[in-house]
Amino acid sequence: MSTFELLGMGFQNAFALSALLTIVIGLMLGVIAGALPGVSFVNAMAMALPFTYSMAPTQAMLFLGAIYVGGVFGGSISAIIINVPGTPASLPACWDGYPMTQRGEVRRALAVAILASAIGGLTSALVLSFAAAPFAVFALRFSQPEFFAATVLGLISVIAISKDRPIVSLLSLFLGILIGTVGVDPQYGVARFTFGAPAMQSGINFVVVMIGLFAISEVIDLIATNRDLRPSKAASARGQVSLRDFWEVRGAIARGSGIGSILGVIPGAGATPGAVIAYGIEKQVSRDGDKFGTGIMAGLAAPEAAKNATTGSAMVPLLTLGIPGSAATAIMLAAMMLHGVNPGPLLFLNDPTMVYTIFAAMILANILMIFAGIGVAQFFSTLMKTPPAVLGAFIILLSIVGAYGVRNNIFDVYVCLFFGLVGWVMKRTGFPTAPLVLGVILGPLAERYFMTSLANYNQDWTVFFTRPISGTILSLAAVFAIWSLWPVIRAQYRSVVLLLAGRAGS
């Protein structure tokens, strides 16, 4: 049978009432879990796992897949409305989404985010359906040096993101990388920076840091400044959604979808690096690049498209090779194992109906997500009308539950509260917090890939430059770094020239 026939059969199964209902319920759960600050969709998937025991294997996969698709988008709702990212991948949505909300354009921001996410996800689902095999081959070409190079590109993007003070952002990033080294190192199993406390050996989890830095600190700020989250003016005329807006950001959505689809296929990379790199690249490419961070639609659309574009392609290595590339796909693998299904090349031969029903469901889920997203976003918009005291208490409660829920560990709650205070001080002093979180996320990844690369290539550090893919990505990162740091370099150069000229003159 041809791909189209198989996919047609898949759609038939996906449109069955029980399947459709499973997808819709999964989507709603995912969007809500994603949108609640503190509760991540990975958490929601883990909690949903026992409910899939009684389902048929295909239905279980549809349910988890829908939570995944909805959850990756959901995080942006709270990022845009209250400047608290619901999931790490929604961090970039704060940078241009929240400024739009502050201008009274919350509806417009949400509409752009939903559409960009849906198009990104749809692109990725189509890649999964039609090009799973070649993409799997492409993924296998990536070895540890390439993973390292991609992670470095993600780290460098952080400098590109910083609005005007790249040096301060770099400091914040390095601090994050340092925090990421706490705990048992992945290579030699040696405890680092634990100060003799056993609880520290589990390391500092990035989700916990993010909840503290963004959610808790926001509430502390609310209490300290007694400010009102409620917009002073109702949605302005500019806040109306128009079709022209979507046409304007078509390039950003296309680039974001492409970047996300490619990065998603690589095991280990995922929605967060995808979104950050897409934002960094869009900032360089876009006409309004220098205005990014003030509420530019392209700056919201690109990372939104990219993060949802990782959902379909992340399932390529899972289904074709049986290799889970992220926490979310690892849970899907567990669900398949519990049902006695072994993913991998044989699955396509033995049970093509299941595979193509999953493909069809992923396509369908991304279209249905537009409605689920609008529904949940409407509900969350009422949050803005809630008194700050009520909203603050609500956020604190969710944050503590969320921090505990990451690993069911009480130590994480203390870490979260600590970073809440740190985040508030940083916010007050104008020290950027986003690079720190990205350092905690990407630092340990970079370290692991670096160490494994060296072990694999005879401790030869030149492999990073001599391997073609890795070399290309690293040169791109170098260009990126120089481009973003150019204003600083030029200013330094000028002052040195002026200094010398002054000396010569005297």
Partner 1 sequence: MTKFRRTLFGSVLIAGALAMTGAATAQDYPNRPIELIVTFGPGGGADVMGRQIAQILEADLGVSIPVTNVGGASGNAGLTRLRTSPADGYTMGTLISLTVASWASGIGDNTLDDFRVIGIVQSTPSFLFVASDSPFETAEQLLEHARANPGELTVATSGYGTQDDVALITMADQGVDMVNVPFSAPGERYAAPLGGHTDVIYEEPGDVGQFLESGEYRSLMIFAAERHPEFPDVPTAGELGLDMVYLNTFRTLAVPAATPDDVFARLEAAVIAATETDQWQAFCAQTYTCLEPLTGDAAQEEVNTFYHAIAAQLDD
Q: Which residues bind partner 1 (CB under 8 A)?
A: 42, 45-46, 49-50, 53, 139-144, 147, 183-184, 186-191, 198-199, 201-203, 267-268, 317, 321-325, 327, 330-334, 337-338, 340, 342-347, 407-409, 448, 451-452, 455-456, 458
Question: Which of residues 348 and 394 has its CB atom nearest to partner 1 in the complex?
Answer: 348
Q: Output 8 or 186, the one with its CB closest to partner 1.
A: 186
Closest CA to 108 of 296, 375, 383, 382: 296
Q: Which lies closer to partner 1 via its Cβ, residue 83 or residue 144?
A: 144
For partner 1, the closer of residues 178 and 338 by Cβ is 338
**Shortest CB 24 distance to partner 1, Å:** 24
Q: How far is CA 80 from CA 21, 84, 215, 405, 480, in A?
A: 28, 8, 13, 24, 27
Q: With left for phi above 0 and alpha for psi between -120 and 50, is residue 236 left, alpha or beta?
A: beta
CB of 429 to partner 1, least distance (A): 32
Choice between 456 and 475, CB closer to partner 1: 456
Measured from the CB of residue 42, what is the shortest distance to partner 1 in angstroms?
Answer: 8
Toward partner 1, which CB reaches closer, 178 or 333? 333
State the DSSP H helix or E strand holding residue 183, giving kind and residue range, or none if neither.
Answer: strand 183-184
Residue 32: CB minimum distance to partner 1, A: 20
| Contact present, 320 and 133 (Cβ < 8 Å) | yes
Q: How far is the CB of 322 from partner 1 (least distance, A)?
A: 4
- Nearest approach in angstroms of CB 469 to partner 1 is 12
Question: Going along 360-503, which residue ranges are E strands?
Answer: none
Minimum CB separation of residue 140 from partner 1 in Å reads 4
Exposed, middle or buried by CB within 10 Å (0-12, 13-18, 19+), for 243?
exposed
Q: Compare residues 305 and 335 and give the one whose CB is closer to partner 1.
A: 335
Beta bridge partners of 191: 184
d(CA 400, CA 208): 9
Structure tokens given for 303: 């990372």
Closest to 475 in 3D by CA, of 485, 487, 465: 465
Distance CA 497, CA 122 (A): 53
In angstroms, rounded to a whole number, what is the distance separating the alpha carbons of residues 402 and 87?
11
